[in-house]
Amino acid sequence: MLKPENPRQLSLRKMRGDDLPAVLKLEASAFSDPWPPEAFSDDIIETAWLLLRDEQIIGYTFAIMVMDECSLINVAIAPSEQQQGYGLFMMRELIFRLYTEQKIRHYYLDVRSSNVAAQRLYSKLGFKQLGIRKSYYHKPPEDAIVMGLILPPLNQEARRIDG
């Protein structure tokens, strides 16, 4: 597998407790129905990954692991930084790490049926539509599209994660 390109010196790291104010701000600016601060428990913070540019948090997501599966939740890039390739970079880099370091092969996520931008991003990563959860979201009420990505067993041969 080839490492994702990183021409802009971006970095990905796990979230710490003192990142919470910046992440809450990003969450509130990126989603119509953001999670309230109390939803960010220590357990959930443990699962969060941040995308940084010049030490500034510009994106984040939760990667919740169950056995050899990963659920990706709250994928977000700061509104002022969207459509510059950061979302694609963050997700590629994260999946690359989980795949190569933890051998995680199965990835799942839910996305609003109207969220074409996110669906395109996930398709570019190789995610396929698996099904629909009726009326899954609130504010506004909407169906969720369930998408999944299953990577081949890891061997020493180089592979890309871009479908």
Ligand X SMILES: CC(C)(COP(=O)(O)OP(=O)(O)OC[C@H]1O[C@@H](n2cnc3c(N)ncnc32)[C@H](O)[C@@H]1OP(=O)(O)O)[C@@H](O)C(=O)NCCC(=O)NCCS
Residue 124 as a binder of ligand X (CB under 6 A): the answer is yes
Whole-angstrom Cα distance, residue 142 to residue 136?
Answer: 6
Q: Which residues within the stretch 28-57 sit at the binding site for ligand X (CB under 6 A)?
A: 30-31
Interface residue with ligand X among 118, 145, 149, 161 (CB under 6 A) is 118
Do 108 and 25 form a contact (C-beta atoms < 8 A)? no
Interface residue with ligand X among 12, 50, 57, 75 (CB under 6 A) is 75
Sheet of 69-77, strands arranged across: 11-14, 48-53, 56-66, 69-77, 106-112, 142-150, 128-137
**What are phi and psi for residue 11, nearest 5 degrees?**
-135, 150
Residue 111 as a binder of ligand X (CB under 6 A): the answer is yes
Interface residue with ligand X among 40, 60, 62, 86 (CB under 6 A) is 86
Residue 12 as a binder of ligand X (CB under 6 A): the answer is no
**What are phi and psi for residue 4, nearest 5 degrees?**
-60, 145
Residue 114 as a binder of ligand X (CB under 6 A): the answer is no
Coil, strand or helix: which one is 53?
strand
Residue 88 as a binder of ligand X (CB under 6 A): the answer is yes
Q: Which residue is nearest to ligand X (CB)?
A: 87
Chain residues that interact with ligand X, rule: CB under 6 A: 30-31, 75-77, 82-88, 111, 115-118, 120-121, 124
